[in-house]
Amino acid sequence: MTEAPLLEVEDLRVHFSTDDGVVKAVDGASYSVAAGQTLGIVGESGSGKSVSSLTALGLTRGRNTAISGRMMFAGRDLLTLDASKMRQVRGNDLAMIFQDPLSALHPFFTVGNQLIEAVRSHRDVSKAQARERAVELLGLAGIPDPAGRMNRYPHEFSGGMRQRVMIAMALLNEPKLLIADEPTTALDVTVQAQILALLQDLQDRLGMAIVIITHDLGVVAEMADEIAVMYAGRIVERAPARELFARPQHPYTWGLLKSIPRLDNPREEDLTPIPGRPPSLINRPSGCHFHPRCPYVQDEHRRVDPVLTPVAGNAEHEVACLLPAQARNAVWQALSRGESVQQAQLLARDRARVAARGPDPAASADPGGPLEVQP
Amino acid sequence: MAAFVIRRILWGIVTLVAVIFVTFLLFRIFPGADPVTLLAGKGATPERERFIRQELGLNHSWIVQFWLYLKGIVLHGNLGFSFFTERPVLGEITAALPATVSLTVGAAVLWFVIGIPVGILSAIRRGSIWDRAAMTVSLTFVSMPVFWFALILIYLFAKSLGLVSFLPGPGSYVGLTADPVHWFTSLILPWLVLALTQAAIYSRLLRGSLLDAMGEDYIRTARAKGLRERTVIMKHGVRSAITPVLTVFGIDLGGLLGGAVITEKIFSIHGVGLLNITAIGNSDFPVIQGTTVLAAAFVVIANIVVDILYAYVDPRVRVQ
């Protein structure tokens, strides 16, 4: 990961003016993807995941949109490309697939028609050559009888097959980066696994980078090299996938992890939902945007806005949280042992107090305390 | 698909028979005036009245009359004879039809050519000055009664009547084969009357439907593919947005082919519409009946054509 990243997003802000006020859908997000790598962007609906990727394709531009920051892609800032240059990037070097593959395909045109026009909008080839390429990609995407299926309409395909068509369409022009926005959310669980396996297989063969956007950490667990957790338009935690699952640092990430069922968890352990709802993107909470929903909130968190800073001992792991590092480690260990959020809350308060006072001889003199946790 | 078409045609025939029955009933059972009195005059002898009654076939019960009428249509394509001119109704209608077709089809071309581009432009430049102006103008045309608008146009432009008199006015219509140039110029005002109000409706309809379509996910996909914006709008957007417009177009055209009554009356164009209201004034049942059946037939045919066209445009309809 030492080479220059393929896509580097810096302090991206996408604000929409509406009648109710300015919706700050993305508000200072920074992330990057290296060539051939996979980045998972995880967060609830309304966290700005989709808007940031649609912005990469220039699809959020409009009279009521204010976009700032930088999105460097293969040496060019996507945000400053004019409409015609942007069009040449879309579906060519940078492709995207969407959540609902039925509504994403035009119901009145055959699949072949829609694939061929995608080839011909970027390459100066004959219809026959474009058709050949489309059939090839449909085959690669695992569609049986690809030549025959070219003359079929989208409604004649199943949900999984439609998503395969979308994937084929996105990869026609050998993009360097594929953005997959909730690619499996509208599909059955078994089909989900097939689609994810297909994406990974195609990545191995074609070598493109992937940004996979999802609300489901389970989806990115196997695929992603790196995971960025997004909340209220910002990245709140970023780490290599393995590291993120082993040592998550942000209370929001803990919430996401504790709210998905796991086979290796004890049966009696309940899933813990994250309380509350994502904040209004018009009137954001002061201080840390997560504080109204954070079980470990302290007074200063309501005033101070945390920045993304490296976690001690691992430069690749960054978190935007005001809790002291010891408190975070202690809480996650307690939570992963299956202790309740209430117990973890006490622990966090205790650890934060300790951290505020500095090294406390009394605390270290009492290693067998009830809330003591092995670091 | 073939079964679908056959079913639609059979239903169309059933509808037509029902229309014939209802109009027959309406005009024979509740006549405005007795055609015998109208024909014979006030002081006619009972013998003469009886003769006329027998001549017109009015001495049978209405059920027998209906049966004879229906049999005449099905077996001989015979719509009966006018009480007044005593010429075959079919002949009267075929003589009037070219004028109505000239008026309607010409106007339809014009309103499509105006309404569709205005609708598309307004949709893709929503909120712009152009959009606002176009929508205000179209609202004005939609709200204007046809007869009033026609009189205004005549008052402004008609030769010898208008302020800037340069276009042939009422009563100037001649057939296409008689004098093509005169045919064209005499139709300009009536075409404008019909087309501008319709174009206004079509532009608003298409604007709304295109705005809906442009918000669809498949439009986002089309853009994400890197298609030119022109292709995105004209191919992906308009293709979806045009379907509801086609439906309305078929029905409008069918309705107008049955007689653009007001326009024909004001411009004295001897088309089917004028034939129909003249017949109503004369209690000329066979002609009323004939023109009504013709109008109904056009509407039914237009609906069948729209349904078939719909199946062609929207592949999802084809499967069922």
Q: What is the pLDDT of residues B103-159, one digit of tens each?
A: 999 999 999 999 999 999 999 998 899 999 999 999 999 898 889 999 999 888 887
Residue of chain A whose alpha carbon sits nearest to that of B127: A63
Q: Identify the pLDDT of residue A266.
A: 59
Q: How confident is the model at residue A198 (pLDDT cuts 50, 70, 90)?
A: very high
> Chain A partners of B316 at a C-beta cutoff of 8 Å?
107, 153, 155
B65-117: pLDDT as tens digits: 888 888 888 888 888 888 888 889 999 999 999 999 999 999 999 999 999 99
3-state secondary structure of A214: strand
Instruction: Report ipTM for this prediction.
Output: 0.85
Tokens 């055959």 locate to: A110
Quote the mean pLDDT of chain B: 87
- In the predicted model, what is the mean pLDDT of residues A73-100? 92
Alpha-carbon distance A99 to A92, whole Å?
Answer: 20
Q: Which pLDDT band holds residue A371 (cuts at 50, 70, 90)?
A: very low
Residue of B nearest to A89 (CA): B226
Q: For residue range A243-273, what is the model confidence (pLDDT) as tens digits?
A: 999 999 999 999 888 887 766 665 556 677 7
Percentage of chain A lying above the pLDDT 90 cut: 54
pLDDT for B83 equals: 80
- A59 vs B220, B228, B313: nearest CB: B220
Q: Which two structure tokens, joined as six digits, stand for B245?
A: 């417009």
Instruction: Determine the pLDDT at residue A363.
Output: 46
Q: Which are the contacts of B200, defined by CB distance < 8 A and separation ≥ 6? A: B115, B137, B138, B139, B140, B141, B142
Q: Which chain B residues touch A118 with a CB distance below 8 Å? A: 225-227
Residues in contact with A169: Cβ distance below 8 Å, sequence separation at least 6, in sequence order: A97, A114, A115, A118, A137, B221, B225
Q: Identify the three-state secondary structure at position A62.
A: coil
Q: How many CB atoms lie within 10 A of CB B72?
A: 14
Say whether pLDDT at A359 is over 70. Answer: no
Most A-contacting residue of B209, B212, B218, B220 (CB-CB within 10 A), to test interface: B218
Of residues A38 and A339, the one with the higher pLDDT is A38
pLDDT number for residue A373: 44
Q: Name the band, by pLDDT with cuts 50, 70 and 90, for residue A1.
A: very low
For A273, the 3-state DSSP assignment is coil
| Res. A67 pLDDT band, cuts 50 70 90 | very high
Residue with tokens 């009137």: A283
Tell me the C-alpha distance between B267 and B15, whole Å.
32
How far does chain A reach from its first CA to its final CA, in angstroms? Answer: 29
Cα–chain center distance at B248: 12
Nearest CA in chain A to B315: A108
Strand partners, A226: A39, A240
Residue A71: phi and psi, rounded to 5, are -130, 90
pLDDT computed for residue B5 by the predictor: 83
* Sheet with A7-18, edge to edge strand ranges: A21-33, A7-18, A65-73, A76-77
Closest CA to A40 of A247, A306, A327, A245: A245
Rounded to two decimals, what is the model's pTM? 0.82
Q: Can you give the pLDDT at residue A99?
A: 86
CB B214 within 8 A of CB B122: no
Tens-digit pLDDT profile for residues B195-230: 998 999 999 999 999 999 999 999 999 999 999 999
Report the distance separating Cα A104 and Cα A119, nearest Å: 17
Q: Of the candidates A96, A103, A155, which has its C-beta nearest B218's C-beta?
A: A103
Segment B44-52 mean pLDDT:
83
A119 falls in which pLDDT band (50, 70, 90)?
A: very high
Asked if residue B261 lies in contact with residue B273, where contact means CB atoms within 8 angstroms, the answer is yes
Query: How many Å apart are CA B40 and CA A253, to the nearest integer?
Result: 98
CA–CA distance, A331 with A322 (Å, rounded to integer):
14
In this complex, which of B218, B224, B229 lies closest to A57 when CB atoms are compared?
B224
Helix (H) or strand (E) holding A209: strand A209-214
